[in-house]
Amino acid sequence: MSASLAPVSPVDPATPRSLAAPVARTAVTLMFAVNGLLIGGWGGSLPSLRDKLAISDGQVAVLLFTAGIAGITSMQIGGRLSDVVGARRIALVALPVLVAAIVTLALAPAYPVAVVGAALLGLGNGAMDVAMNAVAVQIEQARRRPVMSSFHAFFSIGNLLGAAAVLGLAGAFGLSGGTVVTPLLLTLAVVAVLVLVVLVRIAPTAAPVEHRDAEGGKIRIPHAAWVLGIMALAFGLSEGTAVDWSSIHITDVARVDSTTGAIGLVAVSGFMVVIRLLGDRLVTRFGRRAIVRFGGVSAALGYLTVTLVSPLPLLVAGWALVGLGVGMIAPQVYAVAGHLGGGRVLAVVVTFGYAAFLAGPAVIGFLVRHVGIHHAMAVPAVLCAGIVALAATMPREDRDLA
């Protein structure tokens, strides 16, 4: 294959016709939403879990590291199995593992049990992440028009709802500290089980993906996949930095209290949701290459803004641009990866993005200690500018999906 990515291939005649039905899109939307809900609840409950188990920040870091390593491992296995037995099956097996993880964390009486819960969470989330994206790609092929952005929008919405549930539950029942984590996570687990029951009935059958040529030889992962992987590294670090550092950045640079500083994450998350809800229409009109380029420019300008300015309104505007930009990129890169080589290539690209999302904020933290939080944001600005250049390798138009 040349350096440029091949355009998205037309739908395979063997692809089950049910993938084009509206109920199939509803099912995959539910997959993304419930995945985001559980992961958001996990992230939002970490402070409460720390209080309940009386553990240190270092021990919380071990939980996050355990979940991350398990997730990366599970992505590789889940991606390959999705191609062999069909992504639907992997997603529907991974979701109960994720629910078991949430229940384990909710009821964990001691730190070692919480570590087991974190490992289960990584295993369930990694496989489900790749599998639901693989099903989403096949739905794009069957419907012959972009839908990936809307799926990722509902992941973001679910993520916000999961995190916000901490505040809602605490306010409704007067809970605080470690008393929140058990009822919160058990409630989310019940919701997920109900969604699972629905998914078992309506989730579409995803066709296995064959990786052999006409002579029966195994097709190697195309070189273009590694280009997509580099792009995933760049947007993964940029998104992780925005999620983990935006509020702290505003608090320190604008010299406001931490409550006001939280508006940074609100701006990032809110604009990510908005652009993902609009993304499919924009891709249909302008093509993936243009959308990824615009996303890279927007995120780079946003990071450049927060690197150079100090007034609160300008900082919020800068972080809004970052959210607008990074929200555009991931769905399109993952879509091209899935069209290029199914779950196997998705596993490679998603792993790059996931690893960068996890490790990136720590790298930025190292830079913050040495050059200051203001100047450290120049690094993701450069990476986002690199995405603009690498976007030239993506399809100019998705004629087969238009």
The model's pLDDT over 215-230, given as tens digits with 9 standing for 90+, comes to: 555 667 777 888 999 9
Over residues 386-397, the mean pLDDT reads 83
The H or E element that residue 340 is part of is: helix 312-371
| pTM as predicted | 0.82
CATH ID of 17-202, from 1.20.1250.20, 3.40.50.620, 3.40.50.150, 1.20.120.1080: 1.20.1250.20
From CA 379, how far away is CA 386, in angstroms rounded?
A: 11
Structure confidence by residue, pLDDT tens digits, 103-149: 999 999 999 999 999 999 999 999 999 999 888 888 888 888 888 99
The residue-averaged pLDDT of 60-88 equals: 87
Has residue 50 got a pLDDT over 80?
yes
Is pLDDT above 80 for 3? no
* Sequence-separated (6 or more) residues with CB below 8 Å from residue 351: 72, 75, 76, 229
Higher-confidence residue of 350 and 98: namely: 98
Q: What is the pLDDT of residue 259?
A: 64
N-terminal to C-terminal alpha carbon distance within the chain: 24
Q: In this predicted structure, which of 168-182, 295-309, 335-349 has the lowest mean pLDDT?
A: 168-182
- 251: Cβ–Cβ under 8 A, 6 or more apart, which residues? 257, 258, 260, 261, 264
- pLDDT score recorded for residue 113: 97
Contact 245, 361 (CB under 8 A): yes
- Angle 223-253/378-390 helices, nearest 10 degrees? 150
* Of residues 1 and 389, more confidently modeled: 389
CA separation for the pair 155, 196 (Å, rounded): 16
**Confidence grade of residue 402 (pLDDT, cut at 50, 70, 90):** very low
- Residues 223-393: name the CATH superfamily: MFS general substrate transporter like domains (1.20.1250.20)
**Delimiting residues of CATH 1.20.1250.20 domain(s) in the chain:** 17-202, 223-393
Average pLDDT taken over every residue of the chain:
84
Cα(133)–Cα(152) distance, integer angstroms? 9
Q: Which has more confidence, 295 or 6?
A: 295
Q: Does the pLDDT value for residue 278 go beyond 70?
A: yes
79-83, 88-92, 187-191, 272-276: which has the minimum mean pLDDT? Answer: 79-83
Choose the most confident range, by mean pLDDT, from 257-266, 300-309, 346-355: 300-309
Least confident range of 21-35, 40-54, 97-111, 309-323: 40-54
pLDDT in tens, 21-37: 889 899 999 999 999 99
352: helix, strand or coil: helix
Report which of residues 14 and 23 the model is more confident about. 23
